[in-house]
Amino acid sequence: MSTTTETDVMPKLTAKDFASNQEVKWCPGCGDYSILKQVQTVFPDFGIPKEDIVFISGIGCAARFTYYMDTYGMHSIHGRAAAIASGVKTLNPHLSVWVVSGDGDAFSIGGNHFIHLMRKNFDLNYLVFNNQIYGLTKGQYSPTSEKGKVAKSTPYGSVEEPFNPAELALGAKSTFVSRSLDRDPKHMQMVLKRANEHKGTSFVEIYQNCPVFNDGTYFAFSEKETKKEQAIFVEQGKPLVFGATEDKGIKFDGLHPIIVNLNETGVSVNDLWIHDEKDKTKASILTRFADNEFKGESFPRPFGVFYQEERSTCEEAIENQIKELTARKGKPSLDKILSGDKTWTIL
Amino acid sequence: MEIIENNVVNHTPIIEAESIVIRFSGDSGDGMQLTGNQFTDTAAFVGNDLSTFPDFPAEIRAPIGTTAGVSGFQVHFGSKEIFTPGDEFDVLVAMNSAALKVDLPRLKKGGIIITNIAGFDKKNLSLAGYADGINPLEDGSLNDYTVHKIDVTKLTKECLAGTGLGMKEIERSKNMFVLGLLFWMFDEPMDYTITFINEKFAKKQDIADANIKTLKAGWNFGDHTEIFASRFKVSPAKLPKGTYRNITGNHATAIGLVAASEISGLPLFLGSYPITPASDVLHELSKYKTSNVKTFQAEDEIAAICSAIGASYAGGFGVTTTSGPGMSLKTEAIGLATILEIPLLIVNIQRGGPSTGLPTKTEQSDLLQAMYGRHGEGPIPVIAASSPADCFNTIIEGSRIAIEHMTPVIVLTDGYIANGSEPWRFPTADQLPKINVKFVTEANGPDGTFLAYKRDEKLVRPWVKPGTKGLMHRIGGLEKHADTGNVSYDAKNHGIMTEIREAKIQRIADYIPLAKVECGNDKGNLLVLGWGSTDGAIKTVVHELFKEGYDVAHLHLRYLNPFPKNLGEILKNYTQVLVPEMNCGQLLKLVRAKYLVDAIPYNKVQGQPFTTSELKNKILELLK
């Protein structure tokens, strides 16, 4: 492990330093390229020595990410990256651990590990590239595909309600819930930095376009023509404002959010919902914006850091318990363990 | 420690016995496991050799009084060497009618029955399924036995009257009455149990006092009443000199892991999910957190093994413990560890299967799963423990192979030896072997590159801890290039890698001991070839028959993959090879396939270990 001194004198790394010698093999135009680029761009700023970074992934297009980073990494089995990362972080809390997953990997086959990882709160980062489709298996609906999705295995449309990943993460007691998208590099870089800074499991949902099997799913939120009306980028301490001319706001009407026109008389920015990452009630409403479930009104899709909470991390709690026990009871010798308390001797 | 004084001179004659089998049997809530354990610890303490067999239902509290709820604890103790818990009992303690019904068939003719008659009232008899009006204690059906009808419940109540304890607490003490009586019958001291009670109820002195009072009342009952015609004395066994403790297989497994961590210098990580009969290893190991041990109760069996893989990847020693159904769930991850080529120990405490099967009963039916239960060609070493104490040695050896050969290893034990116990002449720390760990910190390829799958003379690839400067690399479940470890879909490379993975496991045969015939002649008529927990039964029978002049020998295998290099030669030295297994012939298939030996099966799949008598009959049949 590197010492602090070595880190201090280490010349600043560049994005290129984080690129492995492996050829990147995603489809042309895949949103994963942008995510890889943003990760490689922001990592030098983190100041973490490359050898202390570990990427763990499961299976799927997103999971190949591990091979393209010049760090330590394991491309494992479908859905299990969270469980593997738990072991890595427990054994060596010093490592900077990044899990890369997709919507099928994280929420379908790995759903159980996902929810437990959120509640356990290891200090690691969990990126989900959500493209609402199974890409590597060539186009089946995923647990985040919209109801009615026509895909290979659902020629007449999917009949299932999808997961809303941010809502799921919050419900599973995640301490950091955020969302960004592949076509907004600056925003993604900001969210990645916030994720790295957060001490605890940082859940980052990244809307990612699959140009082959689900092209354009998120264009409403990423393309110039519609973005301002259909997306809202939340910032800590700022009112919830959106619209082509920033003419719309969101405020509370009792327990429900409503959209107001800021150009109307009597409507003031001062009455709007102020984003507060520490407020779980607000976060739980914000994450549900996708579902149009508030009085049937269509809300813009939110992006940014929805929720952030300081809570002791799992690996810290494990270490503290060991320290406390050691101070109180000491470490028994192996001979003592082998003999136990009750022995007898045959002469 | 309290001295027990016997003021009354009792004239009951004491008969010297070489070995005795006692079966404590009662309702799940009657405390039979605790009673049996206390008797066992005391017998161990006075120097008897012994073997125990806790035999309990899968339900925590099956309906009271029914045969489904009968919980048994069998202890075989003696002044000679004891290898099994015994086929039949000399003494049956039956706390109720159901217990008698379940266990009477295996009581020796002429054996002693100690009953609590409170468990033989109309209701209990009916719950146990006796026909209306039938009471075995009164209908003469037990005339072949010596029956002691004692109202243990009433005597316990009388003993504790005025103590201020509630009826529930008082009733709960009745097992101590029986234990006290048994101590008297076998002339064993009560001191050990008195100390135990005082420690267990250190914060509840009234409960401790009540238990001790009842224990002594049981002893005095034997001493004062003249209903017992004889007492028994089992002298200390002539065991090898040394210091002993009593240990169960699961306990030995847990401290084996602690020891493996210490002798390898690697931090231990146990990822586990509760499952019968493996949970005790997780419980026990969780107590050793100050010994460089981290235990992690994962969300499921898959997460349990995957977290262990993560821990090994991070530079620790990852272990997962489970039983049959859990093994099935871990299968994909074992394949991952196989292609990653990282150390990992998988302990399967086998139970009756398939599916949920018989969770609390024993079986050896996961051997072929351990050998072949992965998709693709996924060879890994498999070794098995042969007795409760041997779990310790097997864990150390499995850990050594996993770490020094960079491979997942499956250790098989089973419910019989996991819960059973025996005296263990434990080693001292400095007697343990070393496990050599080599973390690579320097580049090993041309131009300072790092080749993650470049192999040494053992065909073992380098182990690099994340955090090591300059050696960043990626590994994964996709087929890898034979040197670099990078993803490779090349057809020939896949062939090469498949062969290397197999050769690497087979090469372990160069680093394990040769097989050795334990008892009998090196050549001859019949070799009994066993593995795992059948050791005690086979050993007992073969020792006896060989001593009587029969041409029979015993070889017990610890290493199942790879086999010891000389196994094929040994098998050819005998006219017949008998393979007794608690499955339908799994080792049998392996030795037949590998050595083309027409080995003879002897199988039992009833959730119970072999009895020595059934095994003896089978061997004698072959020796005719």
How does DSSP assign A155-190, residue by residue? TT---SPPP-HHHHHHHTT-SEEEEEETT-HHHHHH
Q: Which residue of B has its CA nearest to A117?
A: B299
B154 and B268 both lie in a single domain:
no
CB contact under 8 A, B267 and A91: yes
The verdict on A199 touching B (C-beta cutoff 8 Å) is no
Is a pLDDT exceeding 80 seen at residue B61? Answer: no
B278 and B185 both lie in a single domain:
no
pTM, two decimals, is 0.93
Nearest to B95 by CA among B182, B185, B163, B207: B182
B255 located within any domain = yes
B13 and B150 both lie in a single domain:
yes
> For position B60, what pLDDT does the model report?
76
Predicted ipTM of the assembly: 0.96
Is a pLDDT exceeding 70 seen at residue B605? Answer: yes
The mean per-residue pLDDT over the stretch B380-390 comes to 98
Domain count, chain B: 4
| Average pLDDT, consecutive stretches of 10 residues, N- to C-terminus, chain A (347 residues) | 50 94 96 98 97 98 98 98 98 98 98 98 98 96 96 97 97 98 98 98 98 96 95 98 96 92 93 97 93 79 98 97 96 97 87
B398 and B460 both lie in a single domain:
no
Contact between B90 and B22 under an 8 Å Cβ cutoff? The reply is yes
- What does each C-alpha distance from B540 to B40, B85, B324, B411 come to in angstroms? 20, 11, 28, 24
The C-alpha R_g of chain A, in whole angstroms, comes to: 23
Say how far apart CA B381 and CA B560 lie, in whole Å: 7
Element (H, E) at A345: strand A344-346
Phi, psi dihedral angles at A221 (to 5 degrees): -95, -10
Say how far apart CA B555 and CA B522 lie, in whole Å: 10
Say how far apart CA B91 and CA B175 lie, in whole Å: 16
pLDDT digits (tens, 9 = 90+) for B235-266: 999 889 999 999 999 999 999 999 999 999 99
> For position B10, what pLDDT does the model report?
60
The verdict on B433 touching A (C-beta cutoff 8 Å) is no
Query: Which three-class secondary structure state does DSSP give residue B373?
Result: coil
Which CATH class for the A7-222+312-347 domain?
A: alpha beta
B164 and B99 both lie in a single domain:
yes
Q: How many CA atoms lie within 13 A of A199 on its CB side?
A: 10
Phi, psi dihedral angles at B19 (to 5 degrees): -155, 155
> For position B4, what pLDDT does the model report?
37
B452 and B493 both lie in a single domain:
yes
Say how far apart CA A27 and CA A212 lie, in whole Å: 8
The verdict on A10 touching B (C-beta cutoff 8 Å) is no
Is a pLDDT exceeding 50 seen at residue B16? Answer: yes
Q: Is A323 left (phi over 0), alpha (psi -120 to 50) or beta?
A: alpha
Nearest to B381 by CA among B417, B344, B354, B333: B344
From chain B, pick out residues whose CB is under 8 angstroms from the CB of A95: 314, 466-467
Q: What CATH number should be reported for the domain holding residue B379?
A: 3.40.50.970
Q: Where do the structural domains in chain A lie, given as residue ranges?
A: 7-222+312-347, 235-298
Q: Which of B245, B250, B286, B299 to mutate to test the interface with A (most CBs of A within 10 A)?
A: B299
Phi, psi dihedral angles at B106 (to 5 degrees): -110, 15
The mean per-residue pLDDT over the stretch B112-133 comes to 95
Say how far apart CA A102 and CA A136 lie, in whole Å: 10
> For position B549, what pLDDT does the model report?
97
B537 and B413 both lie in a single domain:
no
At which of B511, B539, B556 does a domain end? B511
Q: How many CA atoms lie within 13 A of B536 on its CB side?
A: 27
At which of B233, B255, B285 does a domain end? B233
Element (H, E) at A192: helix A185-197
pLDDT digits (tens, 9 = 90+) for A112-133: 999 999 999 999 999 999 999 9
Is a pLDDT exceeding 80 seen at residue B11? Answer: no
Token pair of B25 as six digits: 């049997």
Whole-number percent of chain B with pLDDT over 90: 92
Report CA A245 to chain centroid distance, whole Å: 30
Q: What CATH number should be reported for the domain holding residue B156?
A: 3.40.920.10
Please name the residues between 66 and 125 in chain A that touch chain B, using a CB distance below 8 Å.
Answer: 66-67, 69-77, 80, 82-92, 94-95, 112-113, 116
> For position B225, what pLDDT does the model report?
85
Contact between B285 and B270 under an 8 Å Cβ cutoff? The reply is yes
Minimal Cβ distance to A50: which of B236, B340, B472 = B472
B436 located within any domain = no
At which of B431, B456, B480 does a domain end? B431
B439 located within any domain = no
pLDDT digits (tens, 9 = 90+) for B220-230: 999 988 788 88
pLDDT digits (tens, 9 = 90+) for B26-48: 998 899 999 999 999 999 988 99
> For position B154, what pLDDT does the model report?
95
From chain B, pick out residues whose CB is under 8 angstroms from the CB of A329: 290
The verdict on A332 touching B (C-beta cutoff 8 Å) is yes
> For position B6, what pLDDT does the model report?
42
Minimal Cβ distance to B426: which of A82, A83, A339 = A339
B33 and B109 both lie in a single domain:
yes
B438 located within any domain = no
Say how far apart CA B397 and CA B557 lie, in whole Å: 13
Structural domain containing residue B465: 446-511
Say how far apart CA B362 and CA B349 lie, in whole Å: 9
- What does each C-alpha distance from B388 to B74, B421, B423 come to in angstroms? 15, 6, 9
